[in-house]
Amino acid sequence: MKLYDFPPAPNPRRVNIFIAEKNIEIERVLIDFSAGEHRTDEYKAKNPACDVPMLETADGVYISQIRGITRYLEEQFPATPLLGRNAAEKGVVEMWEHLAFINGMLAVAEVFRNTGKGFVGRAVVGPHNYEQSSELASRGAARILNFFQDFNQQLASNEYIAGDHYSMADITTLVTCDFAKWVKADIPEDCAHLRRWYETVSARPAVLSNP
Amino acid sequence: MKLYDFPPAPNPRRVNIFIAEKNIEIERVLIDFSAGEHRTDEYKAKNPACDVPMLETADGVYISQIRGITRYLEEQFPATPLLGRNAAEKGVVEMWEHLAFINGMLAVAEVFRNTGKGFVGRAVVGPHNYEQSSELASRGAARILNFFQDFNQQLASNEYIAGDHYSMADITTLVTCDFAKWVKADIPEDCAHLRRWYETVSARPAVLSNP
């Protein structure tokens, strides 16, 4: 089993924390984003979506997208479940992980990819080229603020994002909060619950070992 | 168990086809989108994301987001699996369902919500108000074309989207193709594999009963 990885980027970090929490040993293959190694013909033949991370199973199946990789690993290594322990929890974890992704990660990415000089003409992850949009960058900044408030609200009555148990929803939310710092957005002072939670999850060994 | 539903909209349709494929009996509660019933205080208390569909389990747990609902139902009703039959398939189905969602459904939604008169000031699903963006509408239209080509390519060597087995990835891709018609985009003539697949899956009883 091999993970095609680029540790400095936020999406690989989500999977790396997940793997560390589960204590799985996986060989890494470095795909240097900044050198464009995710867009070579060789890599595209394995992963047409041209993104990182991507998992190659022992049977030679290529699985990209964080949902695909984490689902496969959860099934293969069910100890330390991170996608829920029963049907209702599994549903609720997927719900919150999706909300963290779409309202958090994507909002930060809207700012990052539509303002960064390194992404001129490549504003969307993947093999196709799209121009940057200043309208989308502005909207992303507004969405980040709502994301902080909404998740603070959820943590007002829950220890973790999806309830009383640490899960993949926490990992995506934590990585979003750190990714937001790249675009100069930080958890607001008035989000006390989110700040309390952030301190707790940031201190986990799996998070500390994947900064 | 109750499904808060609005059958004319594409996201509820994804779940309704999934439920029909699995032959599950579920009571429906109509939430009329066009009358704003998804934004009332009563509904928001159950679903802060203010979207439809949403599932209320027999134990009174509220699960929103299609990933949450389908995962819960797959665990509770494992017959006729639609999210994969083994670890590798489960990973691959999640991968393709995610790609269909982010590169297909979201691309069509970018056009639909940023051009429709009914969405002025409400360009993003959820409780918050965002203005429409003509830049995003244009980008969405370009992304739809790439979505058709990429999925046609995948179907050149696969019977179904995630391989040789019909799955939730097919449901999301099919609903995306039909949703695209709402913004005057249709599968191009040169996408023969996608057209062959579209004819096959459109004829399934679960699809015909959820037009």
pLDDT tens-digit readout, B66-75: 999 999 999 9
pLDDT of residue B33: 83
Average confidence (pLDDT) over B19-42: 93
pLDDT higher than 90, residue B125: no
Q: Which residues of B touch A98 (CB under 8 A)?
A: 65, 67-68
The answer to whether the Cβ–Cβ distance between A72 and B55 falls below 8 Å is: no
Q: Which residues pair with B160 in a beta bridge?
A: B163
Q: Which residues of B touch A99 (CB under 8 A)?
A: 49, 65
Residue B59 contacts A where some CB pair is shorter than 8 Å: yes
Dihedral, A41, A42, A43, A45 alpha carbons, nearest 10: 80
* Closest-CA residue of chain B to A162: B63
pLDDT of residue B36: 86
Q: What count of other Cβ atoms lies within 10 Å of the Cβ of residue A198?
A: 20
The pair of three-digit structure tokens given for residue B92, joined into one six-digit string? 């691959």
> Average pLDDT of chain A?
96
The pair of three-digit structure tokens given for residue B41, joined into one six-digit string? 């205080």
Q: What count of other Cβ atoms lies within 10 Å of the Cβ of residue A200?
A: 14
Work out the minimum CA distance from B3 to partner chain A, whole angstroms.
14
Q: What count of other Cβ atoms lies within 10 Å of the Cβ of residue B200?
A: 14
3-state SS, residue B40: coil
Q: What percent of chain B has pLDDT over 90?
A: 91
Q: Which residues pair with B4 in a beta bridge?
A: B29, B54
Instruction: Say if residue B60 is exposed, middle or buried (CB neighbours under 10 Å; 0-12, 13-18, 19+).
Output: exposed
3-state SS, residue B82: coil
pLDDT of residue A175: 98
pLDDT higher than 90, residue B181: yes
The pair of three-digit structure tokens given for residue B62, joined into one six-digit string? 């509220």
The answer to whether the Cβ–Cβ distance between A99 and B65 falls below 8 Å is: yes
Q: Is the ipTM of this complex over 0.95?
A: yes
Residue B156: C-alpha distances to residues A26, A31, B93, B144, B160 (Å): 32, 27, 17, 19, 10
Average confidence (pLDDT) over B51-57: 97
User: Residue B77 and residue A98: Cα distance in Å, rounded?
Assistant: 22
Show the domains of chain B with their CATH numbers. 2-76 (3.40.30.10), 87-205 (1.20.1050.10)
Q: Which residues of B touch A153 (CB under 8 A)?
A: 48
Partner-chain residue, chosen from B88, B128, B131, that has the shortest CB–CB distance to A57: B88
Partner-chain residue, chosen from B61, B98, B134, that has the shortest CB–CB distance to A88: B61
Partner-chain residue, chosen from B90, B99, B124, that has the shortest CB–CB distance to A65: B99
pTM tops 0.95, yes or no = yes
3-state SS, residue A41: helix
Q: With bands split at pLDDT 50, 70 and 90, how would you rate the model's confidence at A65?
A: very high
Instruction: Say if residue A159 is exposed, middle or buried (CB neighbours under 10 Å; 0-12, 13-18, 19+).
Output: middle
- Ramachandran angles phi, psi of A17, nearest 5°: -65, -45
Residue B97 contacts A where some CB pair is shorter than 8 Å: yes
Residue A75 contacts B where some CB pair is shorter than 8 Å: yes
Residue A27 contacts B where some CB pair is shorter than 8 Å: no
The answer to whether the Cβ–Cβ distance between B95 and A65 falls below 8 Å is: yes
CA gyration radius for chain A? Answer: 17
Q: Which residues of B touch A93 (CB under 8 A)?
A: 68
**Contact (Cβ atoms closer than 8 angstroms) between residue B142 and residue B124:** no
pLDDT of residue B64: 98
Q: Which residues of A touch B67 (CB under 8 A)?
A: 67, 94-95, 97-98
The answer to whether the Cβ–Cβ distance between B68 and A153 falls below 8 Å is: no
> Average pLDDT of chain B?
96
Average confidence (pLDDT) over A64-69: 98
pLDDT of residue A30: 97
pLDDT higher than 90, residue B116: no
User: Residue A21 and residue B29: Cα distance in Å, rounded?
Assistant: 40
pLDDT higher than 90, residue A116: no
pLDDT of residue A133: 92
**Over the range B12-36, which residues count as b (16 or more CB within 10 Å of their CB) and which as e?**
bbbbbbbbbbbeeeeeeeebebeee
User: Residue B128 and residue A25: Cα distance in Å, rounded?
Assistant: 42
Average confidence (pLDDT) over B34-49: 90
The answer to whether the Cβ–Cβ distance between A126 and B135 falls below 8 Å is: no
Average confidence (pLDDT) over A120-144: 92
What's the sign of the alpha-carbon dihedral A56, A60, A64, A68? Answer: negative
Residue B87 contacts A where some CB pair is shorter than 8 Å: yes
pLDDT of residue A34: 81
**Over the range B74-99, which residues count as b (16 or more CB within 10 Å of their CB) and which as e?**
bbbeeeebbbbeebbbbbbbbbbbbb
Residues in contact with B17: Cβ distance below 8 Å, sequence separation at least 6, in sequence order: B171, B174, B175, B206, B207, B210
pLDDT of residue A125: 87
pLDDT higher than 90, residue B118: no
Single-letter code of the amino acid located at A109:
A
Work out the minimum CA distance from B73 to partner chain A, whole angstroms.
8
User: Residue B105 and residue B179: Cα distance in Å, rounded?
Assistant: 8
Beta strands (DSSP E) in B33-184 are 54-56, 62-64
The answer to whether the Cβ–Cβ distance between B95 and A63 falls below 8 Å is: yes
User: Residue B57 and residue B54: Cα distance in Å, rounded?
Assistant: 10
**Contact (Cβ atoms closer than 8 angstroms) between residue B17 and residue B9:** no
Q: With bands split at pLDDT 50, 70 and 90, how would you rate the model's confidence at A5?
A: very high
Partner-chain residue, chosen from A67, A128, A134, that has the shortest CB–CB distance to B146: A128
Average confidence (pLDDT) over A50-74: 97
Residue A158 contacts B where some CB pair is shorter than 8 Å: no
pLDDT higher than 90, residue A56: yes
Partner-chain residue, chosen from B49, B86, B98, that has the shortest CB–CB distance to A68: B98
